[in-house]
Amino acid sequence: MLQHLLGDINVSSLVIFFTAFLALYYWYTRPKNFPPGPRGVPFLGVIPFLGNYPERVMRKWSKKYGPVMSVRMGREDWVILNDYENIQKALVKQGHSFSGRPDIPVFTQINNGMGLLTVDYNDHWKMQRRFGITTLRGFGVGKRSMEDRIVEEVAYLNDAIRSHNDKPFDILGVLSNAVSNNICSIVMGRRFDYDDERYKEIMFRLSRSTKDPEANFYITVLMFVPFLVNFPPFSRINKEMMDDVKVILDHLDEIVSEHKSTFNKDDARDFIDAFIAEKNSQNKHSSFTDSQLLHYVVDLFEAGTETTTSTLMWSILCMIHNPEKQEKLRKEICSVVGQDRVPAMNDKAQMPYTCAFMQEVFRYRTLVPLSLMHMTNEDVVLNGYNIPKGTTVSPNLWAVHNDPDVWDEPSKFKPERHLDDKGNFVQSKHVVAFSVGPRHCLGEQLARMEYFIYLVSMVQKFEFLPDPNEPNLPDIEKGSNGAAFVPLPFKQIARVV
């Protein structure tokens, strides 16, 4: 009997050993000629080692494994691109092969494959992207008419800032309102008062998870380990996010219904009207649906509001931390624009330091450090490595912006680095804040126009100072880091000059 029991134990041990061997073999096996990189631990991969700033950890690893490397994220192998040259080779020279989007359940549950930002590279995306480019241009994006809309909003923005009477306040809400009203003018054909209840609700719901470091962290983890959505606190955060999405979609559905009731096919007032006209046309395509319209509008608001608003917030932090650079900025603005005239895009060519300041903010505080994730649409070769179809690829834009071979003292805020020895502004191809290739930011022209006009108009009228009630300056090295890297909440004084 003892001999029989020992035999059973030996068989069981063999089965356990063989199972463990197969698991480890599977875990450490990569596709043939795949980029090298760390594997991490079973089931989680490298996720436990990424910390709050995974883009910085990835760049450190690239020193060992090379600029094109792989990491195991959960149960999948991702490819990380850590330098400018390989990002160009992939996203530009082989752009169509690298323009897919992976299926991320935490996003798919929100849009059901609709909208534009997270949709895979297919006929639906191509048609909607073409429609978006044509329609946005038709309503003035990149043109003088769009500039007029932004300039009109400047007065409301300055009045809202001035209403705080040199007292400490958080400027985030005011900036969000101003920037989003430009989107509203294109998408809905109107602007909203900053105290409009429906407008305030949409703005609050849009930005809540992004601005909350805890929520941002948990949502980011869900991107990599989706099964955690069933366990607290991930389930709670996910439910809050989905509740926000429902409220936003309900409000937007009301606005679309209002448009339908007053629709005139011969007079398209805005993006929503243009979409409805396309939907109703005889050549209508199945992708032009009511659901697609709602999610498209959400994407335009999220991409068009959060990015520019956060860039302006980082700019204010940079000015508070570097008052001498703020003063230099103001002197140039006043010498070119004066103190009373509203700035115009034509002024930009005469303002090299302002251009340098803006480009340095784009570089110094990279807003989307790991970009939006791409996916290969076919088997490709990059930097001598074979990357199979369906592989998630993440361009490390932060690594490009902090490459010591390109930038002297990259961890320091130095606008002067973008000026030549004669004081002329030098546009840098190594600042890729809006990404590159077929999936670069749809609203780049609008964002650049907004950023210039709002920044110049604010510095022209106000001096930004730290909150005297806080012993330390607001932290510029840390932020809420998830899909985007945004400043932690802070207050400042905007003193009229």
Domain that holds residue 343: 113-366+402-496
pLDDT tens, residue by residue, 363-372? 999 999 999 9
Distance CA 181, CA 456 (A): 18
Provide the number of structural domains found in the chain.
1
What is the reported pLDDT for 141? 72
Structure tokens at 72: 């195991």
Is the residue at 222 inside a domain? yes
What is the reported pLDDT for 21? 55
Which residue would you say has higher pLDDT here, 458 or 306?
Answer: 458
Whether pLDDT at 3 is above 70 = no
Query: The domain spanning residue 316 has which CATH number?
Result: 1.10.630.10
Is the residue at 78 inside a domain? no
pTM of the model: 0.92
pLDDT tens, residue by residue, 84-120? 999 999 999 999 999 999 998 988 898 888 999 999 9
Amino acid at residue number 176:
S
Read off the pLDDT of each residue in 143-158 and give the average, rounded to a whole number: 89
Is the residue at 175 inside a domain? yes
Distance CA 433, CA 359 (A): 9
The alpha-helical segments, DSSP class H, found in 212-282 are 213-224, 234-261, 271-280
pLDDT tens, residue by residue, 153-164? 999 999 999 999
Amino acid at residue number 103:
D
Which of 423, 411, 433 lies closest to 353, judged by CA?
Answer: 423
The one-character DSSP state at 447 is: H
What is the reported pLDDT for 25? 56
pLDDT category, 319, cuts 50, 70, 90?
very high
Helices and strands: H and E segment counts in the chain: 17, 10
pLDDT category, 29, cuts 50, 70, 90?
confident
Read off the pLDDT of each residue in 311-315 and give the average, rounded to a whole number: 98
What is the reported pLDDT for 231? 93
Is the residue at 436 inside a domain? yes
Cβ atoms of 430 and 402 within 8 Å: the answer is: no
Distance CA 88, CA 93 (A): 6
Whether pLDDT at 436 is above 90 = yes
Is the residue at 377 inside a domain? no
Which of 39, 46, 55 lies closest to 401, judged by CA?
Answer: 55
What is the reported pLDDT for 303? 86
Most trustworthy range by pLDDT among 44-48, 211-215, 381-385:
381-385
What is the reported pLDDT for 151? 93
Is the residue at 466 inside a domain? yes
Whether pLDDT at 242 is above 80 = yes
Q: Give ∠ CA 372-316-431 in degrees, rounded to 5.
A: 40
Structure tokens at 274: 């243009």
Is the residue at 268 inside a domain? yes
Is the residue at 9 inside a domain? no
Distance CA 361, CA 428 (A): 13
Which residue would you say has higher pLDDT here, 29 or 250?
Answer: 250
